[in-house]
Amino acid sequence: MRNVLLRSAFFVLPLMGAAWAAGCSSDDPPGASPDAGVDSPSLVDTTAPPADAADAAPKRDCTADQLADGLWKHLECAGLYSDIAAKTISKDAKAYTPGVEFWSDGAVKSRYLYLPPGAKIDITDFDEWKFPVGTRVWKEFVVDGKRIETRLYVKAKADDWRHTSYRWNDAETDAVRKDEGEKITRAGGSPYQMPNTSQCDACHTGKADQLLGVEAVSLGLVTAKGITLATLAAEGRFSAPPPVTTITIPNDQGGTAAPALGWLHANCGSCHGKDGISGTDLVWRLRAAQLVPDGGPATVQALDPWTTAVNKASQRPDFDAGAGAFYLRIAGGSPSTSLTSILSGRRVPDTVEPNSNDQMPPLVTRRLDVAGHKLLDDWITQIPP
């Protein structure tokens, strides 16, 4: 096995500030009034969603449950469930599944989106959607057959997203806000790591409007389910008609490129975008602007991942190859010498905090996505040296 020395970062992830203390989801100081930094005393009406009379009202006093940053202590008040005891989802929380999914150590995920009535998503930049104030997104994680956590993002103002995570109890009867994260024992070895809010920021600030997976590429693929690019267009949810309602990732003769590019887009693109936060010029995020046919179908070789990664030198010295040598980001035909494959195919011991020198993604993940990593290696194997 080649020696991978971890003396300089190939991917550079900036350190996030500690702005999430004392509530961990806003810049408000401890003890700030509920309307500090928001447009109204309540971030959004605590009874909507749900707005339908058929939905049961929360049994908890949600006004009293609201904290200084406008979010809630209990998931019951966050709008996802109309009846949390019965696990009934609010009628206004619409399910969706991106066409390519982020790996979460094997957790089974459910996602829901709420858009305020009549509000539209600004798609002036088709690759950087701007969501209306009041947008909410929930993502729920099931590990070993049990709900573990539910994450919430709320757009409070045009330039202000608030977010938190809720930790379910063992009986799955209640979920309470937990911003500091937790390492959770799971069956079969490696723990499941619930991120803290600063770790969430490390990825979500890679998008102009924070949401990941709710964008043109992920919702435009034929594998997307529930809310899709096409359904949003049909419902008049965009500021203008989109240029297309379906998107296809180009492939190569071996049929390996599209699956690998989709996997890289979902798992690495949040930081490694064209204007991302990785600190390098490496781009894994697929751009609709490159995928939408305009003057002819897109080709793999014309995409950012190819032009910034394939047979391109990284910043990581390859001491096995001699003085002054650097690993290639993708070494055509050779997964074992491609730094992208090396780092994405590794996980640090459970006693060590993940980091960008030792593994990719550099945060939280403790288990290797074996099937997804094989997609990457199959593609690299097909690429000419």
Lowest-pLDDT choice from 27-36, 82-91, 175-184: 27-36
Closest CA to 151 of 203, 187, 220: 203
Task: Write the pLDDT tens digit of every residue in 272-281.
Answer: 988 767 778 9
**Can you give the pTM of this predicted structure?**
0.85
The stretch 143-151 carries a mean pLDDT of 96
Between residues 45 and 108, which one has the greater pLDDT? 108
pLDDT band at 19; cut points 50, 70, 90:
very low
| Percentage of residues of the chain with pLDDT beyond 90 | 72
| pLDDT of 57 higher than 60 | no
Lowest-pLDDT choice from 42-51, 83-92, 215-224: 42-51
| pLDDT of 15 higher than 70 | no
The stretch 65-86 carries a mean pLDDT of 96
The stretch 132-159 carries a mean pLDDT of 97
Between residues 170 and 2, which one has the greater pLDDT? 170
Residue 181: the pLDDT is: 94
| CA 114 from centroid of its chain's CA atoms | 17
Between residues 294 and 184, which one has the greater pLDDT? 184
Residue 4: the pLDDT is: 40
pLDDT band at 26; cut points 50, 70, 90:
very low
The stretch 190-201 carries a mean pLDDT of 90
Q: List the beta bridge partners of residue 184.
A: 192
Spell out where the chain has E strands.
81-83, 88-89, 94-97, 108-114, 136-143, 146-157, 160-168, 175-177, 182-186, 189-194, 225-226, 313-317, 326-328
Distance CA 211, CA 238 (A): 16
| Ordered DSSP codes for 161-227 | EEEEEEEEPTTSS-EEE-TT-EEEEETTEEEEEEPPHHHHHHHHTTSTT--SS-SHHHHHSTT-EES
Lowest-pLDDT choice from 186-195, 204-213, 301-310: 204-213
| CA 235 from centroid of its chain's CA atoms | 25
283 — alpha (psi -120 to 50), left (phi > 0) or beta?
A: beta
| pLDDT of 207 higher than 90 | no
Helices 257-268 and 370-382: crossing angle in degrees, nearest 10, is: 130
Mean pLDDT (the chain, rounded): 85
**Number of Cβ atoms within 10 Å of the Cβ of 237:** 16
Residue 28: the pLDDT is: 31
Contact by Cβ (8 Å): 38, 161: no
Closest CA to 60 of 35, 36, 89, 82: 82
Helix (H) or strand (E) holding 371: helix 370-382
Distance CA 159, CA 300 (A): 35
Q: List the beta bridge partners of residue 182.
A: 194
| pLDDT of 182 higher than 60 | yes
| Percentage of residues of the chain with pLDDT beyond 70 | 84
Between residues 6 and 234, which one has the greater pLDDT? 234
Please state the domain extents for the chain: 1-385
Task: Write the pLDDT tens digit of every residue in 263-313.
Answer: 999 999 999 988 767 778 999 999 999 998 776 678 999 999 999 999 999
Closest CA to 246 of 260, 235, 226, 231: 231
